[in-house]
Amino acid sequence: MAAPEHIQPTQSPKGTRDFYPEEMRLQNHIFEGWRRVCHAFGFEEYEGPTFEHLELYVGKSGPEIVDQLYVFKDKGNRDLALRPELTPTLARMVNQKGNSLRYPVKWFSIPRLFRYERAQRGRLREFFQLNMDIVGCNTVAAESDLVGAVIEMLKGFGLGSEDFSVRISSRKILSEFLDRLEVEASKKPAVYSALDKRSKIGEEPFRKLLREQEIRDSQVDRLEAFFQCRSVPELAALFEREQETPGLTELRELFALLAHLGYEAFLSLDTSVVRGLAYYTGIVFEVFDKGQNLRAIAGGGRYDSLLSSLGGASVSAVGFGMGDVVLADLLNGKGLLPTGRQGVDYYLADVAASELPRLELLLLAKHLRSKGLSAAYSLNGGKLKKQLTEANEQGARRLIFFGSDRALPGAYEVKDLTTGEQKTMREEEL
């Protein structure tokens, strides 16, 4: 069929990536590190569709995310959107099953997500993100589990407390403090949004945003004092007489639990962590590298109202997301990603050149593969030297000189390409 004249695209669309085998190996290293800890913590994997009905996101994910949606209509004229995050899908799936699920639900997923953002370091328009969520547990046992899992994952990748910290805060305590400042409930969402932007936009634009919400400068000064707190006792002192608000108690319990579990060096209280998403209701946390050159490695928190706002029962939930892009940048900068190719266990080199691979060689490859080993050979034949080059390029660990007259029947000349050692091995020893 003759192809019509078209621009021939040789590049992937802007903000997306091609994963050649070298890059895919790094991705798989990250996916495996994530999966291993999720399984160790007893979480089960799930997945949802790549696109959802547009309504699932509008009014739930917050305006920043909705502005970045890839929206399209299907041929039935329905509005769909490529998923910008997985939490609304999780909420939908939990709501759909309702009481037939056993709570608490401990689920994880590694979805591919889509946000139309200005492409920049650490941000792409298409990326992978680990999601771990607990639905149906309303104590800090859930937050503790998730923060512990985040720390174990990053440790598993070779990072230590000198490399990253988990900054913990609480929407609840911020809300309690805003009550104390007599900020009206209806203004809180706009205040949260301003607070989330604070470090990016700077002092004056931040105060301006708050003034638009009729927050007085004296109130902003007290908020500044709130943001200066670096420990739960300091924070409690700001509450003066009434030092046992629900928000304070939760924070105290979570810090105590995580410290007892040996994670103290990884933690800090950071009341400036607010999280951009609209649906958080309690403890929130973000993970940053200590170089602070990068965006957050992970972030999450408690969202006790999302499921009911999507038509489900009132079920508490906590979760976090960890993207692949910032994490890979960080690991790469510290030399913590695997190098080279995955390689095969055996490369079968034919000492006699032939055009089609020799049948006996193919049968040996079949035999090795049936034993769970990986085996490759030259598909195009060629001289032995060319085959040896291919074996090296493919990262083969062992080389079999097939048809070598040095080997006895049923035995092979085998070279270990890691050590350089060469010996004769019987077929059953391979």
Q: Which residues of 60-91 are buried (b: 16+ CB within 10 A; e: fewer)?
A: bbbebbbeebeeeeeeeeeebbbbbbbbbbbb
Q: Does 102 participate in binding a copy of itself (rule CB under 8 A)?
A: yes
CB 396 to a copy of itself: min, Å: 9
- Cα–Cα–Cα angle for 177, 187, 207, rounded to 5 degrees: 75
Does residue 199 interact with a copy of itself by CB under 8 A? no
Nearer to a copy of itself, 1 or 408 (CB): 1
- 217: contact with a copy of itself by CB under 8 A: no
404 binds a copy of itself (CB under 8 A): no
Question: Contact between 394 and a copy of itself (CB under 8 A)?
Answer: yes
Q: Which of 200, 240, 335, 372 binds a copy of itself (CB under 8 A)?
A: 372
Q: Considering the rule CB under 8 A, would residue 382 count as an interface residue with a copy of itself?
A: no
* Per-residue CA distances from 298 to 266, 357, 399 (Å): 14, 50, 43
Dmax over Cα atoms in the chain, in whole Å?
Answer: 91
Minimum distance, C-beta of residue 73 to a copy of itself, in the bound complex (Å) = 8
- Shortest reach from residue 138's CB to a copy of itself, in Å: 8
Q: What's the closest the beta carbon of residue 55 comes to a copy of itself, in angstroms?
A: 4
Candidates 90-98, 236-244, 296-304, 322-330 — which segment interacts with a copy of itself by CB under 8 A?
Answer: 90-98
The correct pick among 133, 163, 250, 390 for binding a copy of itself (CB under 8 A) is: 390
**Of the ranges 167-175, 218-226, 255-263, 420-428, which one interacts with a copy of itself (CB under 8 A)?**
255-263
H-state helical runs in 213-266: 217-228, 232-238, 246-260
Q: According to the binding rule CB under 8 A, does residue 80 interact with a copy of itself?
A: yes
The yes or no reply on residue 4 touching a copy of itself (CB under 8 A) is yes
Q: How far apart are CA 194 and CA 210, in angstroms?
A: 7
Instruction: Tell me which residue of 119, 120, 60 sits closest to 84, measured CA to CA.
Output: 60
Name the residue with tokens 């700077």: 202
Shortest CB 175 distance to a copy of itself, Å: 13
Q: Which C-beta is closer to a copy of itself: that of 356 or that of 408?
A: 356
Do β-strands 105-109 and 112-114 pair in parallel, antiparallel, or remain unpaired?
Answer: unpaired
Specify the stretch interacting with a copy of itself by CB under 8 A; choose among 133-141, 205-213, 289-297, 408-416.
Answer: 133-141
Q: Which helix (H) or strand (E) holds 219?
A: helix 217-228
Please tell me the count of residues contacting a copy of itself according to CB under 8 A: 112
**Residues 311, 304: Cα–Cα separation, whole Å:** 13
* DSSP character at residue 315: -
Among candidates 235, 231, 205, 209, which has minimal Cα distance to 222? Answer: 235
Closer of 293 and 389 to a copy of itself (Cβ): 389
Contact between 66 and a copy of itself by CB under 8 A: the answer reads no
